[in-house]
Each structure stands twice: as C-alpha cells, then as structure tokens.
Amino acid sequence: MFRIGVVADSFRRGFRENVRAAAECGAEGVQLYATKGEFSPDALDTKEKRREALDYIRSQGLVVSALCGDFGKGFWRTETNRELIDRSKRILDMALDFDCTVVTTHIGVVPSDKSDPRYGIMLGACTELAEYGQKIGASFAVETGPEKSETLRDFILDTGASGLRVNLDPANLAMVIGEDSVHAAKVLGPLAVHTHAKDGVMLKKGDPEVIYGIKQPPEGSVGEKYFKEVPLGQGAVGFPRYLRALRDSGFDGFLTIEREVGEDPAADIRMAVGFLKDILADMKE
C-alpha cells in the first residue's frame, strides 16, 4: 500500500528543521531538493557528509523517497544540455548514497509532434539519462504537467531504457492542461516510481509552452494567472477516485505531499497527511 511522504523544503526552513517537521507531521519519508544549497552534491561532497545527513533522516524515523534534481531549465536546448545531463548524473549518483533510487525533475514540454526538432533534442538528452539510470539502478523521473499523459508515456518508451520513469503530479495536469487524474493514473501509473500529492484548479486555459517558459507570453498577458494551487481535497484532483485508480495501475510507492504556496505550509501539510490517511483507511475496508 502507499506510503506518505513530504517534500521537506515545503516547510521553508533549514535541512534538519524541515526533516524534523516532516516527522512531526506523521510522514514516513522525505523528498529533498539536491540542486543547490546545503543538500547539493557540492555541499555533500564526501561519503562521510552524506552518511551523516542520512543518519539524521533515519534518526527521525524517515527514509528518502526521492531527490529533486530540477534545475528549472529543462532539456530542450542543445547549448545547455551537456552541463545539465552531467549535473543530473551527479544527483542520480548521490541518490544511491541515501538509499534512494529516484530523482525527479521537469524536462520541459514534450512536443506532441515527434517530427518537431525539440522532440529529438529532448529525447537524446533523456535517453542518455535513462541509460545511465538503468546502469546504476536508479530512475530519472519526469514530473507530469505540460503535456498529455499519452505524449509523456510514448516519449519515455521511446528512450528504450528503464531508467526514465514518471513522477506523477495530478495537480499539475489538472491545473495546466485540465487532464483528469484517473485517466492520468491509468496511463502513467505503470511507469510511475514516485508521486506528488498536491491539489489545484485551472483558472484559465493557457498554452503550456508559455506557462513553462518555452515561449514568450503574448503581449498584454505578462503576469496572468492560469492556475491556483490549493490544499488537498479543495481542488480538481479528486483524491479518493485518483488513489484507487493509481492502486489499480500497480503503483504502491510514495504519495509525497508538496505545498509550494500558502502562509502556513506546516498546517496545510498536517491536514494533508490526515486527509490521505483517512482515504487510505477507507480503501482498506
């Protein structure tokens, strides 16, 4: 059955304070940002430092559900891909030192047209990471959001390697493209190695390539709000039916709570833990 985790940085404190807060909320695991700051490969540059950090996480009764390797750039530019690929490999390596096999990221917007030059650029970069992940026994997990589930599924399968998988975030799909969470679970659940438990609503239909920074926004639309993240249960995801569909797809990993907005994230996360536990209890009956 599912386990409940928390994106530790959602608490907006330091590493130890974030981990302790996650444990106090009743989580079983934490996802940690590993691209910069005190939990990056540069900061944790020795086995001893990584072991010390892992020992602290374990002392709080937690495991690492995933690392976040999102540099905020995506893999659609040939001029930056080499550096991003190499840095991503370092994070995949570091994940293993935390008894973790998942690194999540956004890769950009996968074109639905495979003849689009950007599709080939992204596929080349992600295939290299997929093959590297397969070699070391880890997964580079693409976070959902800007493209239809079928488009992402086919892209992942096109790499031909098991090291590229899915971090399923149903809220991103609901907020950005209006995709039903049950449909997403059926299509992508078999490829999912990690999920985010987040909720939200679409405010206005927009171009995903504008929302994710691939294209410039139309004149007069700068600052326009296309979606809103809300506490679990208050948005469009529909968690009871989504979690049943996710279970039926074969996924049995972490539901990792992510709270990127709000004045009191700790309170929202505590509520989310209880919300998920109630649904999971009902699913056992």
Residue 103, domain CATH: 3.20.20.150
Give the tens place of pLDDT for each residue, 169-203. Answer: 999 999 999 999 999 999 999 999 999 999 999 99
- DSSP secondary structure, the chain, as one string: --EEEEEGGGG-S-HHHHHHHHHHTT-SEEEEE-SSGGGSTTTS-SHHHHHHHHHHHHHTT-EEEEEE---SS-S--HHHHHHHHHHHHHHHHHHHHTT--EEEE------SSTTSHHHHHHHHHHHHHHHHHHHHT-EEEEEPSSS-HHHHHHHHHHT-STTEEEEE-HHHHHHHT---HHHHHHHHGGGEEEEEE-EEEESS---HHHHTTSSPPPTT-TT---EEEE-TTSSSS-HHHHHHHHHHTT--SEEEE---S-S-HHHHHHHHHHHHHHHHHHHH-
138-147 tens-digit pLDDT: 999 999 999 9
Q: What's the whole-number mean pLDDT along residues 248-276? A: 94
**pLDDT over threshold 90, residue 263:** no
Please tell me the predicted confidence (pLDDT) of residue 218.
Answer: 80
The number of domains in the chain is 1
Predicted TM-score of the model (pTM): 0.96
- Domain of residue 247: give its range: 3-284
Over 80: is that where the pLDDT of 210 sits? Answer: yes
